[in-house]
A = this chain, B = another copy of it.
């Protein structure tokens, strides 16, 4: 308990340092050519990019400094030092540090897609070894209604490790594609992190309290440094966060989910990201043309955002695309106009979906609506996790 209080004090300092450092360092980023222009604003200032590396570094350093506190009791009595828990903590930090490096390299160098898939997989390797050694539980508990078919639990063995590796890849990329308006990447990560912290606090009473203490040790400094970043990234953004931030966040959530054994609950908190991913699939896999950027279109006259659109040339359409379009139309998930030669369709992201359903709105309003949706989804997650889970699983 004392260590959690010390961690909170450390994290408060980390928040202040993140805030200060971003202010101090942001010109260095512009000088290094790391900047972007905000496409949803009338003034075309240079906005420093990839500042997620600052909050990420402060986050890591806070965790480093917390090591002697977290393992203080063990350090007094090195005979009974919990080497396995220490290795867990180190593996977690190692995976996060790798993603910080990869994310920053990506922001600077603009890497290809294949590296974005290969490297999170490799970065999660130490994690999987720790998991294997410390737990190696590869069993899924089957919900009660399905037990007559599958039994009480299914041991999926090696597949469980593939699942965990893919979780890291999914989390890192899912946040990165729900992006494009001020404050959205950091905002959603903040809500997810907060949900995990609430979940940890509820579970601190249970018999898994050790796993949830571990999770809190990672999430509290993450939350603090993310808040420091959000302060500068909130509308109107003075800094952009870059892929760095998305990668670090995704890996942090994956790490906590895996090592504290609540990866399914973490996925519940990713509901909006999952919806956004599934909705994006037709464009991500190029069944429907996908432009480089799918962020909403800014109208300088009204100061409002409109859904951005792509054009499909009719004669390029194959049967599969046609069927897909019909289903999407039937489900009222797309807004399209057509003439003889082409179909104009909204880009399929959650952000554009909000705009076609709720009408054009200002950028800050859109961010707030999406974050509200994220919070609502977290509430749904808690309902699924608690009242419903007792129906599907034994207590």
Residue numbers of A with Cβ under 8 A of B are: 25, 28-29, 31-34, 53, 57, 60-61, 64-65, 67-68, 71, 74-75, 78, 81, 83-84, 86-87, 90-91, 93-94, 97-98, 100-101, 104-105, 108-111, 122-123, 125-126, 129-130, 132-133, 136
Choice from B28, B74, B93 contacting A110 with Cβ under 8 Å: B28
Chain B residues with CB under 8 A of A78: 132-133, 136
- Select one of B68, B83, B97, B129 contacting A94, CB under 8 A: B97
**Given B68, B87, B104, B130, which contacts A105 in the complex, CB threshold below 8 Å?**
B104
Main secondary structure of the interface of A (DSSP, over half): helix
> Which residues of chain B have C-beta atoms less than 8 A from A111's C-beta?
28
Smallest CB separation, A153 vs chain B (Å): 20
Contacts of A123 in B (CB 8 A): 64
In the complex, A81→B110 CA distance in Å?
Answer: 40
- Say how far A203's CB is from chain B's closest CB, in angstroms: 25
Once bound together, how far apart are the Cα atoms of A374 and B123, in whole Å?
35
By beta carbon, the residue of chain B nearest A91 is B90
Whether the pair A32, B33 counts as a contact (CB closer than 8 A) is yes
Q: Which of A25, A100, A104, A129 has the most CB of B within 10 A?
A: A129
Partner of A32, one of B53, B67, B86, B109: B109
What are 9 A-B pairs with beta-carbon distances under 8 A?
Answer: A32-B33, A33-B33, A53-B105, A64-B126, A86-B129, A86-B130, A93-B126, A94-B97, A97-B97
- Give A84's nearest chain B residue, CB to CB: B83
A101 to chain B, nearest CB (A): 5
